[in-house]
A and B are shown apart, each in its own frame.
Chain A
Amino acid sequence: MSAVLRYETKLGELPTLTGTPTHYCAGCEHGTLTRLLASAVDARGARERAVLVSSVGCSVLAHEYLNLDAVQAPHGRAPAVMAGIKRVRPDLLVFGVQGDGDAVSIGLLELMNAANRGEPISIFLVNNAIYGMTGGQMAPTTPPGMVTTTTPAGRDVASTGRPIDATKLLLGLEGPSYIRRVFLPVAPTSSPDTFNARGALEGEAAIRHAFETQERGGFSFVEFVSTCWVNWKVSILESKRYAARVLAPLFPPGLYRDRFGVEGR
């Protein structure tokens, strides 16, 4: 119990964190991302001019944890809500957190069109290859063969199609200015019991670059390859190994576009 309390106190140290204990499962990258977002907002000194748009899915309560003005969007519609805020208030730093079901399935139209118009907003996509909040159904990003509650025999691509790569879809548009994909989980190393946390460092840098791109007038998108051990029905450590083995080749991390050269600065 005392360990938990110390953790809460530590979280509260960032102005952009409310300190409210999150509903995220232990080992989930949503929790990591919450911390990284707060850190990037504070590094920019933007807490009092930032607006968070939370979406539907595991990110639905993001506004409970990030100490910012916030709007909670309908399922899939966060990019439209963000653009509606930014269009009338271009002085604000507007960003949102979406999951893969939210952004790539029900909200694909809103994502693609906001991106195509180059709306100066920042979208952070947590891709854990499954519907987490609703209990582990197939997502547009679910790898072939993965067992989910709606693909009990494994995802059959002949019937349900191949996983959708949101980063590459956006890369097909001229509108976006910054596109990066980050492998966020702790990553297995050559030693079976050792993992590295480089993804978190890369993730925070990517968020800072996304904000920089937005404030130069461009659309920025960062996809975070993530895990969901609860719904994948494996252990936390096995989920990290699976993500490295299966998701990373399917969704290769890297810098896909940096029109303003914000990473070189």
Chain B
Amino acid sequence: MSDPPEFLKGNEALAYGALRAGLTAFYGYPITPSSEIPETLAAAFGRPSYPRFRVFLQAASELEAINLAIGSAATGARTMTATSGPGFSLKQEGISYAAAMELPLLIVNVNRAGPGLGNLGPEQSDYFQATRGGGHGGYRTIVLAPDSVAEMARMPSLAFALAFRYRTPVIVLADAFLGQLKEDLELPEVAAEAVETPWAVTGALGRERHVLASIHLELADQNRHSRHLQEKFATIGRLEQRAEDVATDDADVVIVAYGICARIARAAVVALRDRGCKVGLLRPISLAPFPRDRIDDLVLSGVRRFLVLELNHGQMVDDVQLAVAGRAEVRSVTEVGGLLPSMAALGAAVESMSDRPASFVDAEEVDA
């Protein structure tokens, strides 16, 4: 079978991207709107073009999937699981264990609308659950947010690189729109640099044994381990912030948006610039660590108005507020339920901010 046509759904692109990044083991449980990921991988399984892809298994539950993934990740294998909101909740126990045991592991969440069963439309309402460490105990993970089908394909490579560099679970947080959107793209080259995994559980052949456990019954041991995890995430926070700037150089207003909202905002920036409105876009690519340094740069360069566009009741706006720290106005524009904000509503919100003198009032809610 030849390579796929390069006009793919986001979910399909992500699956091929993972294969080209050296995916070894995949476990998943069907859930809309992410099921094209296991389906694409099932179709590719056994193809000579992906010799490193050695394990595909449909699990009996989301819990089984994340724990199968924990087992494979413990051996140092490049391991991925994929799901959507309700399944992401079920995986949180396993993600907490993986974070505690410092396992490199890729978890994809194609965010649908919620809470509860919700619907199959796009939302970004799992932002807090993803970026705050959604399970029990204090931990963080790295969270990456693509905004195009091409970036869905590129993201697994970056995610695996970070997962192995820092020995941590990495979450790719997409949304139902990106998962289902079809676009032209160029698939990334097959590339997966060999990674040393001197910690892996592989049988203690001629070496000291390796134990991957999250239990630390001595309080001082848990204290030391928790501090170690915190320090690791602080390092990640310094070194791994990622964001894209679009026309922010002379902007009066900067929209902050990721995923499908960033696509809407890109179009809005072009349309509003045509009308003489000095607006730019800051697109966080890493949601965790949040690109607070870029926000800080923008504030220091004189931006006094930020507009945060997201598909939830206002979650990332908290991170923007923390980065702005009262030095600029931050406004939240939201949409929920699987609907997308209209360009007109976004444009009106930007123009209303742009027309007024800069104030330092905290977030005002604006219905999109």
Query: Which residues from chain A sit less than 8 Å from chain B, CB to CB?
Result: 47-51, 53-54, 60-61, 63, 67-74, 77, 80-89, 91-93, 109-110, 113
Judge if B24 is at the interface, Cβ distance under 8 Å: yes
Q: Please measure, in the bound complex, the distance between the C-alpha atom of A87 and the C-alpha atom of B210, giving whole angstroms.
A: 19
Q: Pull 17 A–B residue pairs with CB atoms less than 8 Å apart, ordered by A.
A: A48-B203, A51-B202, A67-B204, A69-B203, A70-B209, A73-B67, A73-B97, A77-B64, A77-B70, A80-B68, A82-B71, A83-B68, A83-B71, A85-B201, A87-B71, A109-B60, A113-B64
Chain B residues, Cβ within 8 Å of A89: 75, 202-203
* Known A83-B71, A93-B203; further 17 A-B contacts with Cβ < 8 A: A48-B206, A51-B202, A71-B71, A71-B211, A73-B67, A74-B93, A77-B70, A77-B94, A80-B68, A81-B71, A84-B68, A84-B73, A87-B57, A88-B54, A91-B203, A109-B60, A110-B60
A51's nearest neighbour on chain B, judged by CB, is B201
Contact of B27 among A50, A77, A84 (CB under 8 A): A84
A67 adjacent to B55 (CB under 8 Å): no
* Among B25, B75, B94, B215, contact of A60 (Cβ-Cβ < 8 Å): B215
| Cα-based distance from A67 to B204 in the complex (angstroms) | 9
Most chain B CB neighbours (cut-off 10 Å) among A53, A69, A93: A69
Q: How far, in Å, is A171 (CB) from chain B's closest CB? A: 19
Q: How far is the CB of A14 from chain B (nearest CB, A)?
A: 14
By Cβ-Cβ distance, the 5 closest A-B pairs, closest first, are A84-B71, A80-B67, A72-B213, A77-B67, A84-B68
- Contact status B68-A87, CB under 8 Å: yes
Across-interface contacts of B54 in A (CB, < 8 A): 87-88
B74 in contact with A110 (CB, 8 Å): no
Smallest CB–CB gap between B188 and chain A, Å? Answer: 23
- The smallest C-beta distance from B40 to any residue of chain A, in angstroms, reads 20
**B170 contacts partner chain A, Cβ-Cβ < 8 Å:** no
> Which residue of A48, A72, A73, A88 is within 8 Å of B72 (Cβ)?
A88
Q: Are B201 and A81 in contact (CB under 8 A)?
A: no
Name the distance in Å between A85's Cβ and chain B's nearest Cβ: 4
A72 touches B206 (CB 8 A): no
Q: Complex Cα distance A47/B27, Å?
A: 29
User: Are A84 and B215 in contact, CB atoms less than 8 angstroms apart?
Assistant: no
Per the bound structure, the CA–CA distance linking A49 and B201 in Å amounts to 10
Q: Given A69-B204, A83-B71, are A74 and B64 neighbors across the interface (CB < 8 Å)?
A: no
Contact partner of A49 (CB less than 8 A), chosen from B63, B72, B205, is B205
Known contacts: A70-B209, A74-B97, A77-B94. The answer to whether A51 contacts B203 by CB under 8 A is yes
Inter-chain contact A87/B72, CB cutoff 8 Å: yes
Min CB gap B361→A, angstroms: 46
On chain A, the residues within 8 Å of B67 by CB distance are 73-74, 77, 80-81, 84, 110
Q: A48-B205, A84-B25, A88-B54 are in contact. Are A70 and B211 (CB under 8 A)?
A: yes
CB–CB B60/A73 < 8 A: no
- Tell me the complex Cα distance, A89–B205, Å: 14
- Pick the residue among A67, A72, A109 that contacts B64 (CB under 8 A): A109
Cα-based distance from A71 to B63 in the complex (angstroms): 17
On whether A87 and B55 interact (CB within 8 A), knowing A74-B93, A77-B94, the answer reads: yes
Distance, CA A252 to CA B297, complexed state (A) = 72
Report yes or no: B212 in contact with A92, Cβ–Cβ below 8 A.
no
A72-B214 CB under 8 A given contacts A51-B203, A67-B209, A87-B57: yes
A161–chain B nearest beta-carbon distance, Å: 22
- Chain B 73-106, CB-CB to A under 8 Å as 1, else 0, gives 1110101000000000000011001000100000
A87:B25 contact, CB within 8 angstroms: yes
Q: Which residues of A contact B55 (CB under 8 A)?
A: 87-88
